[in-house]
Structure 1
Amino acid sequence: MPLGVGDRAPDFTLDGSPRASYRVSEMIGTPLVLAFYPEDHSPVCSIQLRAYSDGMADFSRLGAMVWGVSPQDPQVHSDFAEKYGINFPLLSDGDKAVAKAYEVLGPLGFYRRSIFVIDRFGIISYCHRTTAGLTYKPTSALLEAIQEAEAKSSGR
Protein backbone atom coordinates (compact mmCIF):
# COMPACT_ATOMS: atom_id res chain seq x y z
CA MET A 1 0.00 0.00 0.00
CA PRO A 2 1.51 3.37 -0.97
CA LEU A 3 2.48 5.98 1.56
CA GLY A 4 -0.49 8.23 2.24
CA VAL A 5 -2.88 9.92 4.64
CA GLY A 6 -2.65 8.56 8.17
CA ASP A 7 0.94 7.32 7.77
CA ARG A 8 3.83 8.73 9.76
CA ALA A 9 5.85 11.02 7.51
CA PRO A 10 9.23 9.50 6.67
CA ASP A 11 11.95 11.44 8.44
CA PHE A 12 14.83 12.90 6.49
CA THR A 13 17.56 15.48 6.74
CA LEU A 14 18.45 17.50 3.64
CA ASP A 15 20.62 20.51 2.96
CA GLY A 16 18.90 23.44 1.43
CA SER A 17 18.69 27.12 0.74
CA PRO A 18 18.84 29.17 2.88
CA ARG A 19 22.01 27.29 3.83
CA ALA A 20 21.03 24.90 6.59
CA SER A 21 20.05 21.30 7.23
CA TYR A 22 16.33 20.63 7.39
CA ARG A 23 14.84 17.67 9.24
CA VAL A 24 11.18 16.64 9.30
CA SER A 25 11.32 15.30 12.87
CA GLU A 26 12.46 18.73 14.09
CA MET A 27 9.16 20.14 12.82
CA ILE A 28 6.99 18.19 15.26
CA GLY A 29 4.55 20.72 16.68
CA THR A 30 4.37 22.66 13.40
CA PRO A 31 2.27 21.79 10.36
CA LEU A 32 4.56 21.29 7.37
CA VAL A 33 3.84 21.37 3.64
CA LEU A 34 6.31 19.42 1.49
CA ALA A 35 6.10 20.52 -2.12
CA PHE A 36 8.01 18.08 -4.32
CA TYR A 37 8.71 19.66 -7.70
CA PRO A 38 10.73 18.54 -10.73
CA GLU A 39 13.14 21.38 -11.45
CA ASP A 40 14.20 24.91 -10.54
CA HIS A 41 13.74 27.52 -13.27
CA SER A 42 11.15 25.48 -15.18
CA PRO A 43 7.95 27.35 -16.13
CA VAL A 44 5.37 25.45 -14.05
CA CYS A 45 7.67 25.07 -11.03
CA SER A 46 8.42 28.78 -11.09
CA ILE A 47 4.73 29.67 -11.12
CA GLN A 48 3.86 27.09 -8.45
CA LEU A 49 6.55 28.11 -5.98
CA ARG A 50 5.92 31.83 -6.50
CA ALA A 51 2.24 31.20 -5.73
CA TYR A 52 3.14 29.42 -2.48
CA SER A 53 5.62 32.17 -1.67
CA ASP A 54 2.94 34.81 -2.22
CA GLY A 55 0.76 32.89 0.26
CA MET A 56 3.37 32.67 3.02
CA ALA A 57 1.51 35.15 5.24
CA ASP A 58 -1.50 32.81 5.16
CA PHE A 59 0.66 29.75 5.89
CA SER A 60 2.30 31.64 8.77
CA ARG A 61 -1.08 32.69 10.12
CA LEU A 62 -1.87 28.96 10.47
CA GLY A 63 1.52 28.33 12.09
CA ALA A 64 2.63 26.24 9.09
CA MET A 65 5.92 25.99 7.24
CA VAL A 66 6.48 25.20 3.56
CA TRP A 67 9.51 23.38 2.17
CA GLY A 68 10.16 22.81 -1.52
CA VAL A 69 12.03 19.61 -2.40
CA SER A 70 13.75 18.80 -5.71
CA PRO A 71 16.98 17.18 -6.91
CA GLN A 72 18.94 20.40 -7.66
CA ASP A 73 21.81 21.47 -5.42
CA PRO A 74 21.58 24.28 -2.83
CA GLN A 75 23.34 26.86 -5.02
CA VAL A 76 20.87 26.31 -7.87
CA HIS A 77 18.05 26.59 -5.31
CA SER A 78 19.54 29.82 -3.97
CA ASP A 79 19.77 31.34 -7.45
CA PHE A 80 16.20 30.24 -8.23
CA ALA A 81 14.84 31.62 -4.94
CA GLU A 82 16.56 34.95 -5.49
CA LYS A 83 15.38 35.26 -9.10
CA TYR A 84 11.73 34.47 -8.31
CA GLY A 85 11.44 35.81 -4.76
CA ILE A 86 10.82 32.40 -3.17
CA ASN A 87 10.72 32.98 0.59
CA PHE A 88 10.69 29.47 2.01
CA PRO A 89 13.39 26.77 2.13
CA LEU A 90 14.23 24.77 -0.99
CA LEU A 91 15.81 21.42 -0.14
CA SER A 92 18.24 19.37 -2.22
CA ASP A 93 17.44 15.69 -2.76
CA GLY A 94 20.30 14.96 -5.15
CA ASP A 95 20.23 11.18 -4.76
CA LYS A 96 16.40 11.18 -4.78
CA ALA A 97 16.29 9.12 -1.57
CA VAL A 98 13.57 11.33 -0.11
CA ALA A 99 11.58 11.18 -3.35
CA LYS A 100 11.78 7.38 -3.12
CA ALA A 101 10.68 7.39 0.53
CA TYR A 102 7.67 9.56 -0.34
CA GLU A 103 7.02 7.58 -3.53
CA VAL A 104 7.02 10.60 -5.86
CA LEU A 105 9.30 9.34 -8.62
CA GLY A 106 7.76 8.63 -12.00
CA PRO A 107 8.60 5.57 -14.10
CA LEU A 108 11.72 7.18 -15.61
CA GLY A 109 13.03 8.37 -12.24
CA PHE A 110 11.85 11.97 -12.58
CA TYR A 111 10.11 13.82 -9.77
CA ARG A 112 6.32 13.90 -10.01
CA ARG A 113 4.89 17.18 -8.73
CA SER A 114 3.49 16.14 -5.36
CA ILE A 115 2.26 17.71 -2.13
CA PHE A 116 2.22 16.32 1.39
CA VAL A 117 0.76 18.12 4.38
CA ILE A 118 2.22 16.78 7.61
CA ASP A 119 0.31 17.61 10.77
CA ARG A 120 1.92 18.80 13.98
CA PHE A 121 2.24 15.20 15.17
CA GLY A 122 4.25 14.10 12.13
CA ILE A 123 1.35 12.30 10.43
CA ILE A 124 0.52 12.80 6.75
CA SER A 125 -2.87 14.51 6.67
CA TYR A 126 -3.00 15.31 2.95
CA CYS A 127 -1.27 13.79 -0.05
CA HIS A 128 -1.49 14.50 -3.77
CA ARG A 129 0.79 13.06 -6.47
CA THR A 130 0.41 14.13 -10.08
CA THR A 131 0.87 11.87 -13.04
CA ALA A 132 1.48 14.78 -15.42
CA GLY A 133 3.41 17.72 -14.03
CA LEU A 134 1.61 20.58 -15.75
CA THR A 135 -0.71 21.43 -12.87
CA TYR A 136 -0.26 22.02 -9.18
CA LYS A 137 -2.43 22.37 -6.09
CA PRO A 138 -3.28 26.00 -5.39
CA THR A 139 -2.36 27.66 -2.12
CA SER A 140 -6.03 27.73 -1.07
CA ALA A 141 -6.23 23.91 -1.22
CA LEU A 142 -3.12 23.57 0.96
CA LEU A 143 -4.42 26.08 3.50
CA GLU A 144 -7.69 24.16 3.66
CA ALA A 145 -5.81 20.88 4.17
CA ILE A 146 -3.82 22.44 7.03
CA GLN A 147 -6.99 23.77 8.67
CA GLU A 148 -8.68 20.38 8.39
CA ALA A 149 -5.63 18.64 9.88
CA GLU A 150 -5.50 21.09 12.76
CA ALA A 151 -9.22 20.63 13.43
CA LYS A 152 -8.81 16.83 13.51
CA SER A 153 -5.66 16.93 15.63
CA SER A 154 -7.25 19.21 18.23
CA GLY A 155 -9.66 16.36 18.92
CA ARG A 156 -6.85 13.90 19.71
Structure 2
Amino acid sequence: MSIPEIGGPAPTFSLPGMIVRDGVRTDDQYDLGSEIGRTTVLAFYPGDATAVCTAQLCSYQAELDGFGDLGAVVWGISPQALDSHESFARGSSLTFPLLSDTAGSVISAYGVRAPGIGLRRSVFVIGPDGIVRWRHVGLVGLRFPKAETIREQIELLVG
Protein backbone atom coordinates (compact mmCIF):
# COMPACT_ATOMS: atom_id res chain seq x y z
CA MET A 1 0.00 0.00 0.00
CA SER A 2 1.07 3.58 -0.44
CA ILE A 3 2.16 5.96 2.30
CA PRO A 4 -0.77 8.07 3.57
CA GLU A 5 -0.66 11.60 2.21
CA ILE A 6 -0.39 14.67 4.42
CA GLY A 7 -3.92 16.08 4.58
CA GLY A 8 -5.46 12.65 4.02
CA PRO A 9 -7.11 10.32 6.50
CA ALA A 10 -4.86 8.16 8.66
CA PRO A 11 -5.56 4.44 8.24
CA THR A 12 -7.36 3.31 11.37
CA PHE A 13 -6.29 0.18 13.18
CA SER A 14 -6.46 -1.74 16.40
CA LEU A 15 -3.35 -3.51 17.75
CA PRO A 16 -2.38 -5.23 20.96
CA GLY A 17 0.11 -3.26 22.99
CA MET A 18 1.65 -2.98 26.39
CA ILE A 19 2.94 -0.30 28.67
CA VAL A 20 5.25 -0.51 31.68
CA ARG A 21 4.61 2.06 34.40
CA ASP A 22 5.95 1.90 37.93
CA GLY A 23 7.34 -1.54 37.13
CA VAL A 24 3.96 -3.01 36.16
CA ARG A 25 3.18 -4.26 32.64
CA THR A 26 -0.35 -3.59 31.43
CA ASP A 27 -1.60 -5.12 28.19
CA ASP A 28 -4.37 -3.46 26.22
CA GLN A 29 -5.85 -3.06 22.77
CA TYR A 30 -4.92 0.26 21.13
CA ASP A 31 -7.43 1.63 18.63
CA LEU A 32 -6.48 4.71 16.62
CA GLY A 33 -10.16 5.53 16.09
CA SER A 34 -10.60 5.99 19.83
CA GLU A 35 -7.97 8.75 19.81
CA ILE A 36 -10.10 11.18 17.79
CA GLY A 37 -9.84 14.49 19.63
CA ARG A 38 -6.17 13.93 20.54
CA THR A 39 -3.00 14.28 18.51
CA THR A 40 -1.32 10.88 18.13
CA VAL A 41 2.32 10.29 17.22
CA LEU A 42 2.96 6.91 15.59
CA ALA A 43 6.63 5.92 15.72
CA PHE A 44 7.30 2.87 13.54
CA TYR A 45 10.63 1.24 14.39
CA PRO A 46 12.27 -1.94 13.05
CA GLY A 47 13.28 -3.72 16.24
CA ASP A 48 13.28 -3.78 20.02
CA ALA A 49 16.56 -3.07 21.83
CA THR A 50 18.60 -2.30 18.71
CA ALA A 51 21.01 0.63 18.90
CA VAL A 52 19.21 3.10 16.62
CA CYS A 53 15.72 2.15 17.81
CA THR A 54 16.80 2.57 21.41
CA ALA A 55 18.29 6.01 20.65
CA GLN A 56 15.12 7.03 18.77
CA LEU A 57 12.58 5.91 21.34
CA CYS A 58 14.64 7.12 24.31
CA SER A 59 14.79 10.58 22.70
CA TYR A 60 10.99 10.55 22.43
CA GLN A 61 10.74 9.35 26.04
CA ALA A 62 12.76 12.40 27.10
CA GLU A 63 10.19 14.68 25.40
CA LEU A 64 7.14 12.69 26.51
CA ASP A 65 6.06 15.24 29.13
CA GLY A 66 6.33 17.98 26.51
CA PHE A 67 4.18 15.97 24.09
CA GLY A 68 1.68 15.28 26.87
CA ASP A 69 1.52 18.96 27.79
CA LEU A 70 0.38 19.54 24.20
CA GLY A 71 -2.30 16.85 24.52
CA ALA A 72 -0.48 14.34 22.33
CA VAL A 73 0.09 10.62 22.87
CA VAL A 74 3.01 8.60 21.51
CA TRP A 75 2.73 4.99 20.37
CA GLY A 76 5.70 2.90 19.25
CA ILE A 77 4.89 0.23 16.63
CA SER A 78 7.07 -2.68 15.53
CA PRO A 79 6.62 -6.29 14.44
CA GLN A 80 7.93 -7.84 17.68
CA ALA A 81 5.67 -9.57 20.21
CA LEU A 82 4.59 -8.01 23.50
CA ASP A 83 7.11 -9.94 25.63
CA SER A 84 9.93 -8.49 23.52
CA HIS A 85 8.37 -5.02 23.93
CA GLU A 86 8.25 -5.49 27.69
CA SER A 87 11.93 -6.35 27.86
CA PHE A 88 12.78 -3.35 25.67
CA ALA A 89 10.58 -0.98 27.70
CA ARG A 90 12.08 -2.13 30.99
CA GLY A 91 15.65 -2.00 29.69
CA SER A 92 15.23 1.49 28.24
CA SER A 93 12.81 2.95 30.83
CA LEU A 94 10.13 3.59 28.20
CA THR A 95 6.73 4.55 29.65
CA PHE A 96 4.64 4.94 26.51
CA PRO A 97 2.72 2.14 24.76
CA LEU A 98 4.59 -0.24 22.46
CA LEU A 99 2.24 -1.90 19.98
CA SER A 100 2.79 -5.28 18.36
CA ASP A 101 2.10 -5.60 14.62
CA THR A 102 3.25 -9.22 14.21
CA ALA A 103 1.09 -9.68 11.10
CA GLY A 104 2.43 -6.48 9.54
CA SER A 105 -1.05 -5.22 8.62
CA VAL A 106 -0.57 -1.71 10.03
CA ILE A 107 2.98 -1.52 8.67
CA SER A 108 1.47 -2.30 5.24
CA ALA A 109 -1.46 0.10 5.69
CA TYR A 110 1.01 2.94 6.31
CA GLY A 111 3.17 1.92 3.34
CA VAL A 112 6.32 1.55 5.44
CA ARG A 113 7.15 -2.11 4.76
CA ALA A 114 10.70 -2.48 3.45
CA PRO A 115 12.01 -5.68 1.87
CA GLY A 116 14.86 -7.17 3.84
CA ILE A 117 14.64 -4.89 6.89
CA GLY A 118 10.95 -5.31 7.69
CA LEU A 119 9.92 -1.69 7.90
CA ARG A 120 11.16 1.81 7.29
CA ARG A 121 11.77 3.86 10.44
CA SER A 122 8.86 6.31 10.18
CA VAL A 123 6.91 8.81 12.23
CA PHE A 124 3.38 10.04 11.55
CA VAL A 125 1.65 12.87 13.42
CA ILE A 126 -2.11 12.28 13.29
CA GLY A 127 -4.24 15.33 14.10
CA PRO A 128 -7.17 15.22 16.53
CA ASP A 129 -9.39 14.98 13.44
CA GLY A 130 -7.78 11.70 12.28
CA ILE A 131 -5.90 13.42 9.43
CA VAL A 132 -2.20 12.88 8.72
CA ARG A 133 -0.62 16.25 9.53
CA TRP A 134 3.08 15.40 9.24
CA ARG A 135 5.21 12.41 8.33
CA HIS A 136 8.80 11.31 8.08
CA VAL A 137 9.47 8.05 6.25
CA GLY A 138 13.08 6.92 6.31
CA LEU A 139 14.65 5.41 3.21
CA VAL A 140 17.33 3.68 5.26
CA GLY A 141 17.06 2.68 8.88
CA LEU A 142 19.61 4.89 10.57
CA ARG A 143 17.97 8.33 10.59
CA PHE A 144 14.94 9.43 12.57
CA PRO A 145 13.25 12.77 13.22
CA LYS A 146 14.29 14.46 16.44
CA ALA A 147 11.73 14.80 19.22
CA GLU A 148 12.04 18.60 18.93
CA THR A 149 10.94 18.43 15.27
CA ILE A 150 7.92 16.33 16.18
CA ARG A 151 7.03 18.69 19.06
CA GLU A 152 7.14 21.64 16.64
CA GLN A 153 4.65 19.83 14.37
CA ILE A 154 2.34 19.12 17.31
CA GLU A 155 2.56 22.78 18.39
CA LEU A 156 1.37 23.81 14.92
CA LEU A 157 -1.77 21.69 15.44
CA VAL A 158 -2.45 23.06 18.90
CA GLY A 159 -1.97 26.62 17.69
Preserved CA contact (<8 Å) 1:119 1:150: no
Deviations 1:78-124 (A, max 9, x none): 11001100110000000100000000011336110000000000000
Q: How does 1:69-108 map to 2 (within 5 A)?
A: 69-108=77-116
Matches within 5 A, 1:26-65: 26-65=34-73
User: Which SS does the other structure have where 1:29 is aligned?
Assistant: coil
Rounded to whole Å, the distance in 2 between the matches of 1:86 and 1:54 is 9
Q: Structure 1 residues 2 and 70, CA, compared in 2 at 3 Å: closer, same or farther?
A: closer
Query: Identity of paired residues, percent?
Result: 38
Paired with 1:93 and 1:16, the residues of 2 have a C-alpha distance of 9
In structure 2, distance between residues paired with 1:85 and 1:108: 29
The 3-state SS of whatever aligns with 2:4 is: coil
Post-superposition CA distance 1:32-85 (Å, at most 9, x none): 000000000100000110110111110011010000000000111011001100
1:105 and 1:32 map into 2 onto residues whose CA distance is: 20
Secondary structure at the aligned position of 2:136 is classed as strand
Match of 2:10 in 1: 9
User: Conserved in 1, the CA contact under 8 Å of 2:47 and 2:80?
Assistant: yes
State the superposition RMSD in angstroms: 1.1
Q: Normalising by the residue count of structure 1, what TM-score does the alignment of the two structures yield?
A: 0.93
Mind listing any 5+ residue stretches in structure 2 that lack a counterpart? 20-26
Shift of 1:7: 1.0
Secondary structure at the residue paired with 1:40?
Answer: coil
Give 1:154's aligned residue: none
TM-score, length-normalised on structure 2?
Answer: 0.92
* Residue of 6, 19, 30 corresponding to 1:22: 30
**Runs of 4 or more off by more than 2 Å in structure 1?**
none
Hey, what does 1:135 align to over in structure 2?
A: 143
Which residue, out of 112, 118, 127, partners 2:120?
Answer: 112
How far apart are 1:17 and its partner, in Å? 1.1
Q: 1:109, 1:52 → 2: CA distance?
A: 22
Pairwise CA distance, 1:4? 1.7
Counterpart amino acid of residue 136 in structure 1: F
